[in-house]
Amino acid sequence: GRHFSVNSCLIPLCTLDHAAVTTVEGIGNTENKVHPVQERIAKAHGSQCGFCTPGFVMSMYALLRNNPQPTEEDIEDACESNLCRCTGYRPILDGFKTFCKSYCCKKELLEAETQAQENDMDCKLYKLSDLMDYDPSQDIIFPPELLVLKNKSTKSLKITGSNITWFRPSSLDQLLLLKREYPKAKLVIGNTEVGIEMKFKDINYPIIISPSEIPDLNTVKHTDEGIEIGACISLTKLNKILSDAIEKLPEYKTRTFTAIVEMLRWFAGHQTRNVGERKVITMDESFFTGYRKTRLDDDEVVIAILIPFTEENEYFLGFKQARRRSDDITIVNAGMRIIIEKSSLQSAHIVKDCTLSFGGMAPITVIARRASNFLIGRKWNKDLTELIIPLLNEDMPLSFSTPGGMVEYRKALACSFFFKFYLTVTSRLSPVEDLAGTEIPTSYLSATSTFKKDPTRSIQVFEKPDANQSDDDALRRPIAHTSALKQATGEAVYCDDMPKFEQELFAGLVLSQRAHAIIESVDYEDALAMPGVFCHVTADDIKGFNLFGAIQADEEVFATKEVTCVGQMIGVILADTKQQANKAAKAVHVVYKDLTPILTIEEAIQASSFFPCNNQIQVEGIEQEIEKSDRVLEGDIRIGGQEHFYLEPQACLALPKLESGEMEIFTPTQGPHLIHENACKVLGVPLNKVICRTKRLGGGFGGKESRTLLVALATSVSAQKSKRPVRCVLDRDIDMSTTGTRHPYLFNYKIGFSSNGVINALRLRMYANCGNSLDLSPAVMQRSILTCSSCYRIPYFEISPYLCKTNIPSNTAFRGFGSPQGVFAIETILSEIAIDCGITQLQIREMNLFQDGDVTHYDDVVEDNRAQVVLSEVIKRSDLHRRQIDIESYNRENRWTKRGIAVIPLGYPIGYPVKFMNQGAALVLIYTDGSILLSHGGVEMGQGLHTKMIQICSHILEVPTEKIYTIETNTSNVPNTIQTAASMSTDLNGAAVAAEQFGLIEIIIDPTISLNACEKLRDRIKPYQEANPKGKWEDWIQAAYLDRVNLSANGFYSVPGVVPDSKGNKGKTYLYRTFGAAVSEVEIDTLTGDFHPLRTDIVMDIGKSLNPAVDIGQIEGGFIQGMGLFTLEEHFFSSNGYLLTRGPGTYKIPSSTDIPNEFYVYLLPNVPNKHAIYSSKGIGEPPLLLGMSVFFAIKDAITAARQDAGVSNVFRLDSPATCERIRMACNDRITAS
């Protein structure tokens, strides 16, 4: 029997008749025994937030069941369709590759070589010897019942539901009878779109027919003409059938097969590919009659498709370009076929037949008939590539209003594909040594190569624990995330995993369908009449205030008179099930009076639509300073937004207690106190009546800091009104279209600098698209203003900020807050200066670095500056200078692929520039059995915060980590907490657990906080340890308890020395910086805009790491998320304010195929930080900004392409550097046409 990994959201339940379903819970658990797959992803640190972990586990499990000895390539292929937002994929692949013996040998050899070179450093985040062996015989047996049924014919099946009838015919005759009876029925074989259409597009299919078990449609026939493939053969089977034929048959016969197999490599992943009266019809341009319409009559079905052999002088190639290489949805694709004969009279190759077919250039697949006919009878030479461009444009005219946009890019792709086709066919017609006669330079052959990603190679180097530290001490050791195994087995409980309460109701949200409009009326009558509906909730049901906000209460919980964005909440429908609630919510009828929306920064500027902003930094005489400089540059810079794409959607469960207004609110939020405070204001009750509880987050990244209020407040009000538990869990499309993103920015700059590149003065205008409410935008902009200089000295720096008020959902916090946008602007300006001055990108950065004693533009004195240290280290470790020479050589030898390299240093200030936010608290309870319950103000969202807190507690109390447990973050245990954000949570909460353990104890200004929770308990227990030195921990605890010693202690920490205090001390805006530097090398295809990072080296100064595995996980995950921001991830709104990129089908985050082939991380040793717990540093956000090294490497590669084309090196490249922007920046005769 075969095992398949499938996406549960894509495969219809009815197709699983005669199938056995195994979920992650079924292969192992922590109570009995975990499966080796579960153990390895956990111990290899491949599970952070854990929400994606079961999917990866089951993909690997299915691979092992079919192939117990996989190769590295098999493992990477098995994981390519699974998405992870936390880890950066490297540790997941690393853990799974331990099932490959050759990989283990290479890993041990690489670690040994590294260890020999690094002396006091370590490079083993886990030990291979600690992993249990994999014995396939111990896996669950294949169900005998299925083996018995294997050779029996499948019976027909009919399943009738309330709205759908599902048929599974068992013969072709039954299928044809059903098609005659139900001519409009939807056929489902591997059609992964059906579930998406029904759920997200509200398309109703009352009759569905699944012919997947019909023998006649699952046959494969080898004929003299080619291979006939049954219509129900899955793409996975098709790939194997064609691959086998390619291996056995002569090359010339299988050129079509080869092209199809190459396309299948990048057509989604295994999970998607696993789910795919007689007459003959030729699949030519007449086959498709319209969008998703064919020449087939309603009662006809496709039985098989014949894929013909190619002739010896026939060539066939396929091409595809998608937003992400492994995506099945393409921007443009093409199939090109040509027959060429050698003319003995003319000594030339003559085109005898030609077909050029394109997808993505019209609603249907089209054949470029003019271009195809033009080629027939002509000589096959380079002149054709020039002549064919206008014909392709005539065949496939695209207006600027064409759906999907990217008109110029799509037209360029069609022409580029033909150019690649010409070069590939020509190279096959003539051996390489004879290419000179064809007038094709050998440098052009780079256009003919197909992409092949090498298996990833990586090493992580970090400082060993202190030499005098005992082996039992967990501090500074790479221990696994405390919940990793539970996440890998499916036992970890997320908000929506909580069991359903009795009489629980589900909330369906009534959302605005207009970007800006007056609400004239809202009619709930039809919705309330629907089955299962309990009631509706509106602003009239709010007992407190209908306003909320993180900084200023300027948003309505439920809109009353006016809506200011698509997706704004108008009301709630409560029903017995989620499906009933959502369906009824869509039945609410709202009448609007439309107003003109403002969607973009430019529209806001034109309309002067701004929120107040008082954070500007003014410099008297800035214009004179700029103008007196040797050189002056000015221009605009743009960076787009970024969807958080946490894997766990926004959710809330509100549980009313029916006494005195009490309520418990369960919600995955980064800010429990923010929820607590706003909920009580809206409910009209004091804070002591409500408890907010957060177990864990399936990813947050800032998106669950303030925008969780939307769902939590609506759910809480609903629970208060109904007096019943209410649950609300957003679907992915609703989540993405209502909760906001990272702020898009537009910068306008004017800079003066010396002739050798030293910056003198900069005037910078920052425009942020804030959306329809203030939310955290002032704080985001403040962060942009204060941190944009990164590690560079700018003597005169004037900044004018503008908070643009627009009619899109309110944008919000995102990892790095406003720093990525601001630093990107400065790095872009530096790049332009380097080009203008004719110096290298490295030189411009080194000469403008901060030095100790310099003063920032916000008046902090720079100290402990290690920007040059990390920069020098990454240059050495990456072998930058030699590789730059190699890249120059590569670019000379390759015209149509180019490589680029970039180095980016970073100085990232850590902390909150607001005094009250620099505080943390903890509560530690020791029970009489010696177990310890640790609570603190931070939230676990995958970043390993609970793990680090347990390590600190274990170190102080000198007990094993297994004795310490953290249940949740709970406002009744630790009240008034600060949001888990800003890379500060370990600093604040760790110091509340153990405040005395700093690099330098004298920084503790207030002696009353020199001891915190664990030190207090340690000192209370110490007399009993001294009295019974041979006793155990449990003995000492029992003795203390019997002696009436308080075995609970709270801790509190306020950061000293930040911002002005009451004693007149000026203080600092930020106490310290986390430093880092990255070198990234990329390769781009200049004809398509495709790119891939070849190698990344990262060096970080993070002080003395509390847990190297956790910190390296943050570095790698943050870097890949940053790479997504600067290269892949792009939002699109329609002209009426509707978000078009509202799911994984249209919004692309990096996948495992996008990470660098080589990925190296090095933590700088011997760099204690006197300002934070145990000399550590905040690490969550800084690495994200290093992802821009990939952007600037791409820009470097584009520069090389432009040099070949003879165009200027100075050009604008906005972020993200998508395939469209890359291609269109590589000026050549195709883009010029």
pLDDT surpasses 60 at 435: no
Alpha helices (H) along 971-1032 = 985-993, 1013-1027
b/e map 917-927, b = 16+ CB within 10 Å: bbbbbbbbbbe
First to last CA, the chain: 55
Q: How many CB atoms neighbour CB 249 within 10 A? A: 14
Task: Work out the percent of the chain whose per-residue pLDDT is above 70.
Answer: 95
Alpha helices (H) along 209-253 = 235-248
pLDDT surpasses 90 at 204: no
What is the pLDDT confidence band of residue 431, given thresholds at 50, 70 and 90? low
Q: Is-contact 213 168, C-beta < 8 A? A: yes
What is the pLDDT confidence band of residue 1210, given thresholds at 50, 70 and 90? confident
| pLDDT for position 1003 | 39
Pairing label, strands 562-563, 517-523 = antiparallel
Closest CA to 1193 of 1172, 1171, 1175, 1217: 1217
**β-sheet with 569-575: strand ranges across:** 533-537, 569-575, 505-511, 726-729, 651-656, 663-666, 690-694, 969-970
**β-sheet with 220-222: strand ranges across:** 220-222, 226-230, 304-308
Closest CA to 1073 of 921, 877, 914, 856: 856
Q: Residue 1216: is the preceding peptide bond cis (ω within 30°)? A: yes
pLDDT surpasses 60 at 1004: no
- The arithmetic mean of pLDDT across residues 139-167, rounded, is 87
pLDDT surpasses 60 at 697: yes
Q: Which of 39, 832, 873, 1181 is catalytic?
A: 1181
Q: Is-contact 1088 449, C-beta < 8 A? A: no
Q: Using alpha carbons only, what angle is made at residue 48 by residues 42 and 49, rounded to the nearest 5 degrees?
A: 125
1026 is catalytic: no
pLDDT surpasses 70 at 1136: yes
- 124's CB contacts (< 8 A; 6+ apart) are 111, 478
| pLDDT for position 1061 | 58
Q: Is-contact 611 770, C-beta < 8 A? A: yes
Q: Quick one: 1029 exposed, middle or buried, by C-beta within 10 A (0-12, 13-18, 19+)?
A: exposed
Question: Per mean pLDDT, which range of 1-10, 76-85, 348-357 is the poorest?
Answer: 1-10
The four Cα atoms 188, 192, 197, 203 give a dihedral, to 10 degrees, of 0
How many angstroms separate the CA atoms of 884 and 892, rounded? 12
Beta strands in 141-193 (DSSP E): 157-160, 165-168, 186-187
DSSP string, 179-208: HHH-TTPEE-SS-THHHHHHHHS----SEE
pLDDT surpasses 50 at 1223: yes
Confidence (pTM): 0.96
The four Cα atoms 846, 850, 853, 858 give a dihedral, to 10 degrees, of 160
**β-sheet with 366-367: strand ranges across:** 314-322, 330-343, 348-359, 366-367
How many angstroms separate the CA atoms of 1087 and 1090, rounded? 8
- 134's CB contacts (< 8 A; 6+ apart) are 36, 64, 68, 99
How many angstroms separate the CA atoms of 1093 and 1086, rounded? 15
| pLDDT for position 404 | 84
Question: Per mean pLDDT, which range of 265-274, 744-753, 966-975 is the poorest?
Answer: 265-274
What is the pLDDT confidence band of residue 1064, given thresholds at 50, 70 and 90? low
| pLDDT for position 279 | 66
How many angstroms separate the CA atoms of 538 and 1104, rounded? 52
Handedness of CA 126, 132, 136, 141 (dihedral sign): negative
Q: How many CB atoms neighbour CB 1140 within 10 A? A: 14
Of residues 736 and 5, which shows the higher confidence score?
736
Closest CA to 362 of 392, 386, 337: 392
Q: Is 53 helix (H, G, I), strand (E, B) or coil?
A: helix
- 330's CB contacts (< 8 A; 6+ apart) are 320, 321, 322, 359, 360
What is the pLDDT confidence band of residue 1063, given thresholds at 50, 70 and 90? low
What is the pLDDT confidence band of residue 1009, given thresholds at 50, 70 and 90? very low
Q: Using alpha carbons only, what angle is made at residue 236 by residues 93 and 267, rounded to the nearest 5 degrees?
A: 70
- The arithmetic mean of pLDDT across residues 17-45, rounded, is 96
b/e map 137-168, b = 16+ CB within 10 Å: eebeeeeeeeeeeeeeebeebeeeeeebebbb
pLDDT tens-digit profile of 563-576? 999 999 999 999 99
DSSP string, 915-933: GGGSEEEEEEEE-TTS-EE
Q: Which three-class secondary structure string do you get for 1021-1059?
A: HHHHHHHCCCCCHHHHHHHHHHCCCCCEEEEEEECCCEC
| pLDDT for position 433 | 46
Rg (CA), the chain: 31
- The arithmetic mean of pLDDT across residues 204-210, rounded, is 91
Strand partners, 935: 923
pLDDT surpasses 90 at 310: yes
| pLDDT for position 285 | 77
How many angstroms separate the CA atoms of 395 and 418, rounded? 14
pLDDT tens-digit profile of 722-774? 999 999 999 999 999 999 999 999 999 999 999 999 999 999 999 999 999 99
**Structure-token pair, residue 1217:** 């550097």
pLDDT surpasses 80 at 1045: yes
Mean pLDDT of the chain: 93
